[in-house]
């Protein structure tokens, strides 16, 4: 869930049409059927960087280019940064590509990785 989803959700709940060009998505389907899914990921932008959360992963890229990757299924407490684990290269590459694609879709420019 992202803040940009609030307006489309409230518009749909009120029976109003959502203006074209919004980045948000109505979450009304989730309110009606909690097991449904309307998005694959959610972005969070904070002072030091940007994070993307999916059902299985949390990936963060900081402004200085450093990264964090957490396996939310096996490490929900986020104790092991998989971006620094040798056998996680494939998962890290997949999340990097998904993150960059998601940023571009939101009209944002990805920062470089150091």
Q: What is the pLDDT of residues 62-71, one digit of tens each?
A: 999 999 999 9
Region of 84 (left: φ > 0; alpha: ψ -120 to 50; beta: rest) is alpha
Tokens of 98: 């998904």
CB 8 within 8 A of CB 26: yes
- Give just the sign of the alpha carbon dihedral 86, 88, 93, 95: negative
Which pTM was predicted?
Answer: 0.76
Length reported for the chain: 114
The top-level CATH class assigned to 42-105 is alpha beta
Q: What is the pLDDT of residues 83-114, one digit of tens each?
A: 999 999 999 999 999 999 999 988 888 888 87
Every domain of the chain with CATH number 3.30.1120 lies at 42-105
């Amino acid at each position: 869930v992202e803040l940009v989803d609030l307006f489309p959700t409230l518009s749909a709940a009120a029976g109003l049409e959502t203006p074209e060009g919004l980045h948000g998505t109505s979450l009304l389907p989730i309110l009606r059927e909690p097991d449904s899914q309307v998005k694959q990921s959610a972005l969070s932008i904070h002072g030091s960087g940007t994070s993307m959360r999916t059902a299985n992963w949390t990936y963060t890229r900081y402004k200085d280019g450093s990264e964090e990757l957490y396996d939310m299924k096996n490490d929900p407490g986020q104790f092991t940064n998989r971006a620094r684990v040798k056998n996680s290269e494939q998962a890290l590459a997949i999340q990097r590509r998904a993150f960059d694609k998601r940023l571009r879709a939101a009209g944002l420019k990805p920062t470089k990785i150091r």
